[in-house]
Amino acid sequence: MDTRTAPGQEVTDREYRQIVEFLYHEAQLLDARRLTEWLALMTADIRYRVLAPTVRMLEEKEQDRAKEVTFLNEDMGTLQTRVLQLSTPAYTVAENPPSFTRRFVTNIFVTRGAGQDRFEVSSNLLLYRSKGTSLSPYLFSAERQDALQRVDGQLRLAQRTVWLDEAVLGTRNMSVFF
């Protein structure tokens, strides 16, 4: 899917820098648990999904959707529910006290998307999470495919699909965003 060099698909340096800074800003808000501000970066019709693979042999060609496992499948309404839960002390046990998290965003490719002011963005995410005083932190590793949309001049996340790099997740819950 190497559309990066296709004519007419390149973005300007300025656009690229804005998008990289959008992703960094978003990661910073999540690490700082400023979840309401993070949610404000989504479009109203946000589609937010997190998927994990199953283990299949190479010779089994059909690596199709039926064999992926969905972990999050959210829209604005359900994201609001989650943010309310995770931001209200009496509403969450998993994140009260909160996990210590650090998000590392790399390998960012941007192409012009279909439609005005729309961008297709892929990035890698390493999400470090440490729970309380337990000694082993956990690392979620993922590829993200995003669609960013400029709304009233501001970049907004319109779509995110997160592909986790693990079939059996080695941590107790997923009370974090990617």
Partner 1 sequence: MGDDQVIVVRGEDGVIRAFLNSCLHRGTQICRADGGSARRFICPYHSWTYDTQGNLLTTSFDQYYDRKDFAGLGLTSVAQLDTYRGLIFATWNPQAPPLPEYLGDMRWYLDLFFQRTPEGMTVLGPPQRWVVETNWKLPALNFGTDTQHAIRVHYGPLAIGQTSGAPSVADMMGLFAQSPQVSFPQGHGCILISNPAQYPDFFGLPSELVPLYQCTLNPQQLDFLRRMFVSVGTLFPYTSWIQPVLGVAAERPPVGFISLRTWQPLGPQKIELWSWYFAEKEASAAWKEEVLRNGIQTFAMSGIFEEDDAEVWASIVRATKGSIARRQMMDFRAGFTMPPQQNFPGPGTAYPSLFAEREQFNFLRRWKQLIAQEA
Q: In which residue are the tokens 């990035």 written?
A: 123
> Per CB under 8 A, which region of 17-25, 32-40, 101-109, 169-177 contacts partner 1?
169-177
Residue 150 buriedness (CB in 10 A; 0-12 / 13-18 / 19+) = middle
Q: Which residue lies nearer to partner 1 by CB, 2 or 64?
A: 64
Name the β-bridge partners of 73: 49
For the chain, how far is it from start to end, CA to CA, in angstroms? Answer: 23
Q: For residues 9 and 7, what is the distance between their CA atoms, to the nearest angstrom?
A: 5
Residue 92 touching partner 1 (CB under 8 A) = yes
> Per CB under 8 A, which region of 6-14, 61-69, 103-111, 155-163 contacts partner 1?
61-69
Report the residue from 57, 114, 116, 152 that binds partner 1 according to the rule CB under 8 A: 57
Distance of CA 117 to the CA centre of its chain: 20
Residues at the contact surface with partner 1, assessed by CB under 8 A: 50, 52, 54-57, 60, 66-75, 77-78, 80-82, 84-85, 88, 90-94, 134, 167-175
